[in-house]
Amino acid sequence: MQKFRLYFEENNRSPLVQLWREFARQHSALFGLALFAGFLLLSILAPLLTPHDPYLQADHLLLLPPSWSEQGLVQYPFGTDDLGRDLLSRMLKGTTYTFGLALVTVLGALIAGLALGALAGMSRGVKSSFFNHLLDLILTIPSLLLAIIIVAVLGPGLANTAWAVSLALLPQFVHGIRNAIAEQLKQDYVTAYRLDGANNWQVLTRLVIPNIWEKVTIMCSMALSTAILDIAALGFLSLGAQAPTAEWGAMINDSLDLIYLAPASVAIPGLLIFTAVLSVNLVGDGLKIAMQRRREG
């Protein structure tokens, strides 16, 4: 005799299992996740994977073409730049500076955004109104322009770039988290929990934050693609990473005059920026669709 079950296993799975099941049904999302994991591993293991010193100059190997060219060498798959530095090693090192630094800036903006967004969402009165109007005013400024203004105050450099991009992304996190918290506070179960004796901290940590993590994840994916583009753009404008730092945007700026002599030195870092942003967007769109299907199911 078959054992009686009150709930079917298909409908009694954990939210994460259901989310992964819906995510795995999307081939484009899985492709983006594989790319994202590859960039993440490269940003961590880049110092161990570089075949040559990315800053070592070789006078006898100036502007060496890629290995698939007749004049290329197998030891230098992507060729060398105008100073004889290995492009493959510099591309790998640039993964840490562009992709890895973007992850750090988004994480910092997320932590600060959670704190300020919770403060804005849980507060009431004149203080909340002033804070919200200030956020709306800051959000009218594009993130790249805001990052340029901050770098102009702090000065160029990779460390200041991280601070500038993180501060430029902060208003988006605060605004999104504040709206998500305000929406949750209108729900009936929050009112019932307050009537049961819960204070604001208990409502925030036990009810609100666990129910907004999906929206926070989507915000992080959008912010990460913006951070990658902003870091690369600041490097290209000579406001971010300075020579000889192997950052993708700075590499494009350094090799722009050599685009006809060594097109690979410009095309490859541009392709890496495009692929990194594409991977983040594919994962973000996949998560958004998976969350929507899980709620509907």
Reported as a single tens digit per residue, the pLDDT across 7-51 is 444 455 677 788 888 889 999 999 999 999 999 999 999 989 999
Tokens read off for 16 = 């994460």
Q: Rounded mean pLDDT of the chain?
A: 87
Model pLDDT, residue 297:
64
62 CB neighbour count, 10 Å cutoff: 14
* Extents of the domains making up the chain: 26-296
**What three-state secondary structure class fits 86?**
strand
pLDDT beyond 50 at 160: yes
Compute the average pLDDT of residues 165-194.
88
Give the global pTM.
0.90
- Assigned fold of 26-296: MetI-like fold (1.10.3720)
80 DSSP assignment: B
Tokens read off for 74 = 């197998």
Q: In sequence order, which residues have a C-beta less than 8 Å from that of residue 180 and are 6 or more positions away? A: 117, 121, 212, 215, 216
**CA-to-CA separations, 233 to 67, 100, 143, 251, 265, in angstroms, rounded:** 29, 16, 11, 11, 17
Model pLDDT, residue 14:
73
Band of the pLDDT at 1, cuts 50, 70, 90?
Answer: very low
Q: 244 preceded by cis ω (within 30°)? A: yes
122 CB neighbour count, 10 Å cutoff: 17
Tell me if 226 sits within 8 A of 275, measured CB to CB.
no
Model pLDDT, residue 197:
82
H/E stretch holding 45 reads: helix 27-49
